[in-house]
Structure 1
């Protein structure tokens, strides 16, 4: 699985610039981290799922970015980071955008091996969204963990409710990134003062990260259509001080361990199984 390593490698670069001229690895008002995380999920899924590869090669499945889904039952709406979908129509303005091309737009840092594997895949193209097959939501808890938990939970919980309120057959996938760094430079607290008097946020680790992980574990999950919850959900733990030092992927506890349902590999395996079961006949319906 490449996704988590791609994410921390990309977040090791200070590519987010604020209006004070500060450059950050992570900024809460940017969705860059979410897009990179979702890109990695689709990359791994496409690499490992032959049925999805065939659907993409045949032009049956496309992707959409920041797609608004509307819950039919409650008329609530939410923008999802990335969706796999059928196309509603042809749009020449999107024709040249592929999973491969947006990796450059997002500044995604790939190794030679990852680059070669990406180039060997059929081009997954962006298109106007028709029917949503899979919707991805990615969120991060980087600082002020305990104070941030109610909002984090509400935002994640509203996503699967909106997705399945719009289409019960759609796969709702959630990705969460939890920071275990003891010291953190918050962009909100370090605007004009970062250079001369930076204000560090100090965390009680690993307690703070564990609190966030336990809250995410409370999110509902479902094992079949008709139930309420995420179809798949993963938690990735990183160590990122946001001061320009390289981010690090944390694999030891409290990060989920291999075989646990919240482990990234378990999420990819589950998404692949659900996709192959739920959409095995989609090719017979045409694009």
Structure 2
């Protein structure tokens, strides 16, 4: 599994610039971290699911970015970070940007080995969305953990409800990133004073991260179509001070351990299995 290493390597570089000229690794007003996380998930999923590779190679599956899904039951709508889909009106996705181009657009930091692996995969392209097969939603909890939890939960919960309200067969996948850094440089609190008088946000760790992990674990999950909840969801803990220092993964508790259903590898394995069984007749 390479997606989490790609994510922290990419976030280690301050590439998000605000209107005051500050450059940040993470900015809550940017969707950069979400798109990089989703890119890594698709990369790992392509490696782990032979049926998906075949569907991509045959032009049956494409991807969409910021796709608006509308809940048929309650008429609510939500933009999903990334979806795997059939091309609209049966069109072959021959002209859209590729997964490789998307990596360049979002400044995804790939190693030479990862670039070589990507070159061996069938070309996945962006295309107008027909039927959604899998919808990916990525959210982060980086600071003020306890205060952020109600909104984080509501946003994540509304995603799977909207996806399955639109089409019950679609796979709803969630990726959550929780910060375990003991201090954090918030872009919202340091718009004009970062260089001269930075204001640090202090966290009680690992308590604060543990609160977020526990809240995410309360989200509903489902084991089959017709039920309510996410088909797969992961929790990844990162140490991100957001001051330009390297971002790293935290793999000790409260991070989910290997074999835990919230572990990143468990999510990828589950998504690959569900895709292979649910869409074998695509």
**TM, length-normalised to structure 1:** 0.97
Q: Which residue of structure 1 lines up, in the alignment, with residue 192 of structure 2?
A: 192
Q: How far apart, in 2, do the equivalents of 1:186 and 1:94 lie?
A: 41
Question: How far 1:96 sits from its partner (Å)?
Answer: 4.0
**TM, length-normalised to structure 2:** 0.98
Which secondary structure does the structure 1 equivalent of 2:150 belong to?
helix
Q: Which residue of structure 1 lines up, in the alignment, with residue 143 of structure 2?
A: 143
Contact 2:93 2:127 (C-alpha < 8 Å) held by counterparts: no
Q: Which residue of structure 2 lines up, in the alignment, with residue 210 of structure 1?
A: 210
Deviates more, 1:93-102 or 1:241-250: 93-102
Q: Which residue of structure 1 lines up, in the alignment, with residue 17 of structure 2?
A: 17
Deviations 1:212-243 (A, max 9, x none): 00000000000010000000000000000000
Counterparts in 2 of 1:106-255, with a 5 A limit? 106-255=106-255
Cα separation, partners in 2 of 1:219 and 1:143, compared to 1, 3 Å:
same
Which secondary structure does the structure 2 equivalent of 1:79 belong to?
strand
Question: How far 1:90 sits from its partner (Å)?
Answer: 7.7
Contact 1:89 1:127 (C-alpha < 8 Å) held by counterparts: no
Contact 2:62 2:93 (C-alpha < 8 Å) held by counterparts: no
Q: Which residue of structure 2 lines up, in the alignment, with residue 72 of structure 1?
A: 72
Q: How far apart, in 1, do the equivalents of 2:48 and 2:181 lie?
A: 32
Question: How far 1:143 sits from its partner (Å)?
Answer: 0.2
Q: How far apart, in 1, do the equivalents of 2:259 and 2:127 lie?
A: 35
Contact 2:237 2:250 (C-alpha < 8 Å) held by counterparts: yes
Question: How far 1:100 sits from its partner (Å)?
Answer: 1.2
Question: How far 1:94 sits from its partner (Å)?
Answer: 7.9
Q: How far apart, in 2, do the equivalents of 1:100 and 1:53 lie?
A: 15
Contact 2:93 2:125 (C-alpha < 8 Å) held by counterparts: no
Match status 1:6 vs 2:6: yes
Q: How far apart, in 2, do the equivalents of 1:91 and 1:13 lie?
A: 38
Contact 1:90 1:127 (C-alpha < 8 Å) held by counterparts: no
Cα separation, partners in 2 of 1:123 and 1:94, compared to 1, 3 Å:
closer
Deviations 1:79-131 (A, max 9, x none): 00000000114889981401111101110001111111111100001000000
Q: How far apart, in 1, do the equivalents of 2:243 and 2:58 lie?
A: 45
Match status 1:34 vs 2:34: yes
Gaps in structure 1 of 5+ consecutive residues: 283-287
The two structures, once aligned, show a CA RMSD in angstroms of 1.3
Which secondary structure does the structure 2 equivalent of 1:177 belong to?
strand
Gaps in structure 2 of 5+ consecutive residues: none
Deviations 1:173-197 (A, max 9, x none): 0000000000000000000000000
Cα separation, partners in 2 of 1:183 and 1:13, compared to 1, 3 Å:
same
Q: Which residue of structure 2 lines up, in the alignment, with residue 285 of structure 1?
A: none
Question: How far 1:252 sits from its partner (Å)?
Answer: 1.0
Cα separation, partners in 2 of 1:153 and 1:94, compared to 1, 3 Å:
farther
